[in-house]
Amino acid sequence: MRSVTYAAAIREALAEELERDEQVFLIGEDIGESGGVFGVTKGLIERFGTDRVLDTPISEEAIVGAGVGASLLGGRPVVEIMFSDFAALAMDMIANQAAKTHYMTGGRLSAPLTIRLVTGTAGATAAQHSQSLEAWFVHVPGLKCVAPSTPADAKALLKAAVRDPDPVCFFEHKLLYNRKGEIDDEVEPLAFGRSRVAREGTDVTVVAYLKTLHDALDAAELLESEGLSLEVIDPRTLVPFDREGLRTSLEKTGRLLIAHEAPVRGGFGAEIAAIAAEEMWETLRAPIVRVCGTNTPMPYAPELEGFVIPDATRIAQAARSLVGVGVA
């Protein structure tokens, strides 16, 4: 076992996939000579050359479009969108081309590209560089959506994404890049659709991902001394979503709290809540609660940013209320 950062784990996955398959290449803004704005691809252009690590002009549509075209011809592109906010400029390529190729060709073709989407706030990165837009992509049939919370999962899931025959949106939270975690010396791809129990508990199931998963774990730690036990579930992939993992936890706790940084309205938490309500109603003994971002753009001022996104304190308070403790 080794301790590496989330960014280093992603870099290792990219390097190992570039090494394994000559059809794999990276394409994006500033990913080559500068090593990426967050340093994730640092050193890869020196190791694999400019034919495999391609710097591009600032045109998200062209970057993703080139990736889609290459994937249709046998390539395995890994596209980087430096800030997921600007995936908006590439949505036709993602949602209308990559996502629908397999369906519209009756299964004859597919577009196996990985789109790395740098997401969430980095701390005062404001309204156009901080969004958590995973729900946009979850909504599009044909896309798979991955949201790793730890270095080990980031490496294993990125390797799986590169090898997957479908287009995969791979979300990376900026505030996780420097977070360290233990990973095995050899990491194999991790199949999609398998959630992880990040912490076992008995009173409330908390589903969270990316940075918010760590806030949920902090909340669980906080509440332990109060005698309240949270079970924290990391879904790891949003599409496919591990329904059985959720059911197993709800059969134990009977209470569901969902937390994410994205605005609450139409967020992925609504989908999880609907799955639980429609398919697992008999397990629930309390209303489902969401602790999510407010329905506002991300403000720049740190004091305001802290107000609009969830943290451990807010998750803990919601969990207390859910079990009838600390209700005003």
CB-count exposure of residue 305 (10 Å: 0-12, 13-18, 19+): middle
Site for other proteins, residues 150 to 179, rule: CB under 8 A: 164-166
Distance, CA of 131 to CA of 128 (rounded, Å) = 7
Q: Is position 129 annotated as part of the catalytic site?
A: yes
* Chain CA centroid to CA 48, Å: 27
**Binding marks (x or -) toward other proteins, 107..136, rule CB under 8 A?**
x--x-x------------------------
Residue 142 engages other proteins in binding (rule: CB under 8 A): yes
Q: Assess 189 for contact with other proteins (CB under 8 A).
A: no
By the rule CB under 8 A, 301 interacts with other proteins: no
Alpha helices in the chain (DSSP H): 6-20, 44-48, 60-72, 91, 101-104, 134-138, 151-163, 211-224, 243-253, 268-279, 302-308, 312-322
Give strand pairing partners of 81. Answer: 117
Q: Which of 29, 80, 129, 261 is catalytic?
A: 129
Piece of 28-36, 98-106, 179-187, 280-288 that binds other proteins (CB under 8 A): 98-106
Structure-token pair, residue 305: 């940013």
CB of 276 to other proteins, least distance (A): 15
Task: Please pick, among 12, 29, 60, 134, the residue that the annotation labels catalytic.
Answer: 60
Closest approach, Cβ 102 to other proteins, in A, equals 5
> Of 38, 83, 171, 192, which one interacts with other proteins (CB under 8 A)?
192
Whole-number Å distance between alpha carbons of 3 and 232 = 22
From 66-74, 185-193, 197-205, 248-256, give the range in contact with other proteins by CB under 8 A.
Answer: 185-193
Question: Catalytic: 303?
Answer: no
Asked if residue 247 binds other proteins (CB under 8 A), the reply is no
Residues 90, 67: Cα–Cα separation, whole Å = 11
Helix axes 151-163, 6-20, angle to 10 degrees: 30
Contact region with other proteins (CB under 8 A), list: 26-34, 102-110, 177-185, 246-254: 102-110
Q: Which of 22, 244, 265, 301 binds other proteins (CB under 8 A)?
A: 244
Cβ within 8 Å of residue 188, ≥6 positions away: 156, 159
**Using rule CB under 8 A, residue 139 touches other proteins:** no
Q: How far is CA 286 from the centre of its chain?
A: 28
Give the active site residues: 60, 129
Residues that bind other proteins (CB under 8 A): 102-103, 106-107, 110, 112, 141-142, 144, 164-166, 191-194, 237, 239-244
